[in-house]
Structure 1
Amino acid sequence: MILKTIFLGLEAGGKSIVIMNGDDAERLGVLSLGRVAIRFNGEEKTAIVHKSSKLADPGTIGVCKRVWSDLGLSEGAEVVVEAASFPDSLYFIRNKLAGRKLGSDEMREIVEDTVAEKLSDVELSAFVTALHSFGLDLDEATYLSLAMIETGRTMKLDGGPIVDKHSIGGVPGDKTTLLVVPLVAAAGLLIPKSSSRAITSPAGTADRAEVLMPVTLDLDEMRGVVERTGGAVVWGGAVHLAPADDIFVKVEYPLSIDPLLLPSIMSKKRAVGADLLVVDIPTGRGAKVKTIGEADLLAKDFMEIGSRLGITVRCAVTYGEEPIGSAIGPALEAREALEALMNMGTAPDLVDKATAIAGMILEMAGRSDGKVLAEELLRSGRAVEKMREIIAAQGGDPDITPDDIVVGEERLTIESGRPGHVLWINNSSVAEVAKAAGCPKDRGAGILLHKKIGEVVGEGEPLFTIVAERTSNLRRAQERLEKARILAVGDRMEMLIHEVKERPVVKRSFNLDR
């Protein structure tokens, strides 16, 4: 069938989608969410079909931005459209839905078809749901990791060993990477760090780093920065290390599930050529992992998959029951990280965690007394000098100071209504209120904690300050604060947590940032 193209201008989430008139689709024998092959000037593209009599008249086909650019179409161009068969990968997805184990070739074909956009959102949702319901054993996680590596780009660096770190996330304010990368690079090791933007958190590492320097470097630019300075902090979405993961994340997020945690992390680490890796597993109430026992089991899986991929892995089980440092939000966190690198003594817990993780990496690379060495690199100023080298190499201002970082001017400070100690801090509530204040889109928004768990509080003393760039967002954060209790002050931990008077609707917090 020959149809004339109409450019719809739809991003369509980066997917290959076309809209056909119902009569044309029926003549081809294609239903909604079926597939068509579109041919133009010797090129062919498979696309998912949606039907509409309003957007596409008979004889025309509405084309989204992705298909339009890939085929080099123009308005009114005539294309050959034929029904396309279902990909074999769909049958493998059905096998997983039936609880069967998938092999290496089956996983590879699913990932290849995912990257080639041959699977619809419904089919991808079925695959991710099947992984969540039936789980991945270590063989399947390895197959999936390898397939994600093979369908993306990889980086080769001369010298070595290549080291890396990664946190599974879930704790607000964790700007540890902004210290670990310059600490490790200052010791002469290579650490190419690709990081995510926020998905469910107030700030991802890429969001924090972007306050200091550009992070949308491509793979060649990233390689150049690492070769010149020893380290880099870039946004993973720009280097296309494991493009399948970016697609899977968009499915996981609305479902509030994360079955691809291990293959997602490990595929990207192998793609940058990592030989040595430390995985940070924050643990405790309010973190993704609730108990040390669960953390140890997850660490075992990371280490096993690492060995299968040729990566030596150690895991850091870290304290995750309160935010790291006192700042939550991209600009506030970047400022706090820079202050810590400059030895301004503002966040001792951040420094402790960063030097501990950097020390683990240094010891894996053969250095002795890793934490002591990391502390000396920080104290001597070599770490902040290295960070300024990295900032300059990535196109930022190497002379930036904490005072240069602009944060929101709209403020609301919450004071304690009684004396006592801070008994607990709710990580989920902190994240919710910070996002209501505008994070991460508004870089200068967030929360500043004035007190942490265990600290003495006097009546009327400030507990935390909400920071926003706009009055409307500050008002929204204040409204959210009425439903989300951030912390508790008292003389001792109260035995009654809360009273349940009606059948509750349980809303679990969901953290998906990698």
Structure 2
Amino acid sequence: MKLIVNAYDVESIEPRAIIHDRDCVEIGVKEGERVQICGKRQYVMIANRSDSVVKKGCILVPKDVIEKIGASEGDEVSVMFSPKPESVRGIRKKMDNQKLTKDEINSIVVDILENKLSKIEISAWLTSLYINGMDIDEIADFTNSMVDTGERIQFERTPVFDFHSVGGVPGNKVTPIVVSIVAAAGLMLPKTSSRAISSACGTSDFVETFCNVELDADSVKRISEEVGGVLAWGGSMNLAPVDDMVISVENPLGINPRAQMLASIMSKKLAIGATHLLVDIPTGPGTKVPTIEMARAYTRDFMELGDKLGMHVECAVTYGDQPVGSAIGPNLEARECIRILEGWDHPSSVIEKACELAGIILEMGGIPNGTEEAERILKSGEALKKFKEIVVAQGGDPNLKADDLKPGKYKLEILSTSSGYVHTIDNKDLVQIARAAGAPGDKGAGLLILKKKGQRVEKGDVIMEIYADVESKCQRAKDMSIRLQPIDIEGMLIEKAGKAIR
């Protein structure tokens, strides 16, 4: 059936085509069923029926859908009934805890890419993975299918090293230091990173405060081969696009299925051409991987999956039950990171973690005594020189200095209400507070943690500073910190027992 296509400008989690009731009867489509819309290209959407929102003979779709089908508003397009995709059978099969074939997995991935599966069906897919999981062969097939949905970067130079942290610990600002050390040693590490979704600051959120991170695949290839490293936002390239589509459904559900996480990480690494990968697995209460047993299980998974995919994978289980360093938030993290490259010897936790991780990669590249060599490269200034080369290649200031990155102009202090020692720090609470202050969208927003686990605190000491670009957000973050009390201070005496003196 031919209908006139027009746009509606309403944002929705799952955009739908709105069709007049009588047109729906003629097409033979019911509410919630699929229609295929054909212009120069075709697109499948869920149909909504209406006798008031849309005129007979017309179809309303989002503006971006009109672009995707290669049409313009007012054009005549073909609209026809589209049956439920065969891949739904594969989803039901996984819901019944059965193993899927390579073709069944590929069918699900392709139908997600082509928008043939509804958000409800993708949610069912993710829930089935969360409950029933996949074996390593299924995950390898899932990974390869996701890679095949997007572009791949083919480097002339090999080997290609890569590094990834599974996340879950705030303030984990080591990536630019690791990349700079590794590139300064003569190896190549093209690093793509994410922006924050539920955290206070992703790597790309703070790297973009001093250089451009929205690079296309050709730029990533050129800069990496010329300079040895790159710090790019993965979302600016078409690498495993189905992964991003699935994540948009996964986050509201609040689940992170093991199979999806492994395939998500490894598909991006395959797409960028990595031959050697180091995976950082922060472990501890409040992280994505709360126990050492779970961390060891993930280590086995990543290494076994790497073997299946022809990639050399090593893992580092790292300390993650408190922030890495002191700073949380884009400008604050960027400043702390660059200060270390400039020669500052604090916070030691950032230096130690960066050098340990860089050292593992150096040894993967055949350089002996990796950690010691990483420390030498950092202290000698070679890492800073390489860092500035990367920044300039990505459009940044060649004279960049750490103190160019300014925290928000509004600042409030959180004081200790008792004396004692810092017993625990709640990562999730700190993330909530930093986000209340405006991070990561407001680049000056964030936190400075001035007292870490095991340190002595006196009553009235400043234990945390809150920064914000907006005064009301600063106060809101302070109110939240007082309510949540993310830094727990206890004395040395746990309990007193004794007999009364007569």
With the shorter chain as reference, the TM-score category is over 0.9
Distance in 2, matches of 1:281 and 1:249, equals 20
Residue in 2 that maps onto 1:296: 296
After TM superposition, give the deviation of residue 125 of structure 1 in Å.
0.9
After TM superposition, give the deviation of residue 412 of structure 1 in Å.
1.1
Per-residue CA distance 1:265-298 (angstroms, 9 max, x = gap): 0111111111111110111111111221211111
Is residue 414 of structure 1 aligned with residue 414 of structure 2?
Answer: yes
After TM superposition, give the deviation of residue 63 of structure 1 in Å.
1.6
Alpha carbons of structure 1 residues 116 and 429: separation in structure 2 relative to 1, 3 Å: same
Alignment of 1:66-465 (within 5 A): 66-259=64-257, 260-465=260-465
Provide the secondary structure at the position in 2 that maps to 1:96.
helix
Look up the equivalent residue of 2:77 and give its one-letter code: V
Is residue 35 of structure 1 aligned with residue 29 of structure 2?
Answer: no
Provide the secondary structure at the position in 2 that maps to 1:50.
strand
Alpha carbons of structure 1 residues 463 and 117: separation in structure 2 relative to 1, 3 Å: same
Look up the equivalent residue of 2:179 and give its one-letter code: V
Look up the equivalent residue of 2:477 and give its one-letter code: A
Distance in 1, matches of 2:10 and 2:360, equals 47
Distance in 1, matches of 2:241 and 2:288, equals 24
Look up the equivalent residue of 1:258 and give its one-letter code: N
Alpha carbons of structure 1 residues 295 and 493: separation in structure 2 relative to 1, 3 Å: farther
CA contact (8 A) 2:207 2:231 kept: yes
Distance in 2, matches of 1:52 and 1:182, equals 57
Residue in 1 that maps onto 2:59: 61
Look up the equivalent residue of 1:157 and give its one-letter code: F
CA contact (8 A) 1:12 1:64 kept: no
Look up the equivalent residue of 2:349 and give its one-letter code: D
Residue in 1 that maps onto 2:469: 469
After TM superposition, give the deviation of residue 110 of structure 1 in Å.
0.8
Which deviates more from structure 2 when the two are superposed, residues 270-279 or residues 20-29? 20-29
After TM superposition, give the deviation of residue 16 of structure 1 in Å.
6.4
CA contact (8 A) 2:157 2:225 kept: no
Provide the secondary structure at the position in 2 that maps to 1:302.
helix
Distance in 1, matches of 2:494 and 2:80, equals 68
After TM superposition, give the deviation of residue 343 of structure 1 in Å.
1.1
Distance in 2, matches of 1:156 and 1:2, equals 43
Per-residue CA distance 1:156-201 (angstroms, 9 max, x = gap): 1122211111110000000111210111111111101111100110
Alpha carbons of structure 1 residues 300 and 493: separation in structure 2 relative to 1, 3 Å: farther
Residue in 2 that maps onto 1:4: 4
Distance in 2, matches of 1:52 and 1:314, equals 56
Per-residue CA distance 1:141-161 (angstroms, 9 max, x = gap): 111101011111111112221
Distance in 2, matches of 1:269 and 1:169, equals 16
CA contact (8 A) 1:16 1:117 kept: no
After TM superposition, give the deviation of residue 254 of structure 1 in Å.
0.5
Look up the equivalent residue of 1:353 and give its one-letter code: K
CA contact (8 A) 2:43 2:115 kept: no
Distance in 1, matches of 2:452 and 2:216, equals 39
CA contact (8 A) 2:43 2:114 kept: no
- Structure 1, unaligned runs of 5 or more: 496-514
Distance in 2, matches of 1:297 and 1:243, equals 27
CA contact (8 A) 2:130 2:255 kept: yes
Distance in 2, matches of 1:396 and 1:194, equals 17
Distance in 1, matches of 2:360 and 2:31, equals 53
Provide the secondary structure at the position in 1 that maps to 2:483.
coil
Provide the secondary structure at the position in 2 that maps to 1:483.
helix
Look up the equivalent residue of 1:160 and give its one-letter code: T
Distance in 1, matches of 2:82 and 2:294, equals 45
Provide the secondary structure at the position in 2 that maps to 1:129.
helix
Look up the equivalent residue of 2:285 and give its one-letter code: R
Distance in 1, matches of 2:469 and 2:183, equals 35
Distance in 1, matches of 2:170 and 2:49, equals 43
After TM superposition, give the deviation of residue 363 of structure 1 in Å.
0.6
Provide the secondary structure at the position in 2 that maps to 1:344.
coil
Provide the secondary structure at the position in 1 that maps to 2:488.
strand
Residue in 2 that maps onto 1:508: none
After TM superposition, give the deviation of residue 493 of structure 1 in Å.
8.0
Which deviates more from structure 2 when the two are superposed, residues 47-56 or residues 272-281? 47-56
After TM superposition, give the deviation of residue 3 of structure 1 in Å.
1.2
Residue in 2 that maps onto 1:484: 484
After TM superposition, give the deviation of residue 65 of structure 1 in Å.
1.9
Provide the secondary structure at the position in 2 that maps to 1:452.
coil
Distance in 2, matches of 1:493 and 1:115, equals 59
Distance in 2, matches of 1:405 and 1:271, equals 33
Residue in 2 that maps onto 1:498: none
Residue in 2 that maps onto 1:501: none
Residue in 1 that maps onto 2:24: 25
After TM superposition, give the deviation of residue 36 of structure 1 in Å.
1.1
Look up the equivalent residue of 1:96 and give its one-letter code: K
After TM superposition, give the deviation of residue 401 of structure 1 in Å.
1.0
Look up the equivalent residue of 1:119 and give its one-letter code: L
Per-residue CA distance 1:323-381 (angstroms, 9 max, x = gap): 00000001110110000111112211000000000000001111100000000000000
Distance in 2, matches of 1:493 and 1:438, equals 38
Provide the secondary structure at the position in 2 that maps to 1:212.
coil
Look up the equivalent residue of 1:442 and give its one-letter code: D
CA contact (8 A) 1:343 1:379 kept: yes
Provide the secondary structure at the position in 2 that maps to 1:315.
strand
CA contact (8 A) 1:423 1:493 kept: no
Identity %: 42
Runs of 4 or more, structure 1, over 6 Å off, are: none
After TM superposition, give the deviation of residue 490 of structure 1 in Å.
2.0
Distance in 2, matches of 1:266 and 1:344, equals 34
Is residue 44 of structure 1 aligned with residue 42 of structure 2?
Answer: yes
CA contact (8 A) 1:11 1:65 kept: no
Provide the secondary structure at the position in 1 that maps to 2:277.
strand
Alpha carbons of structure 1 residues 30 and 449: separation in structure 2 relative to 1, 3 Å: same
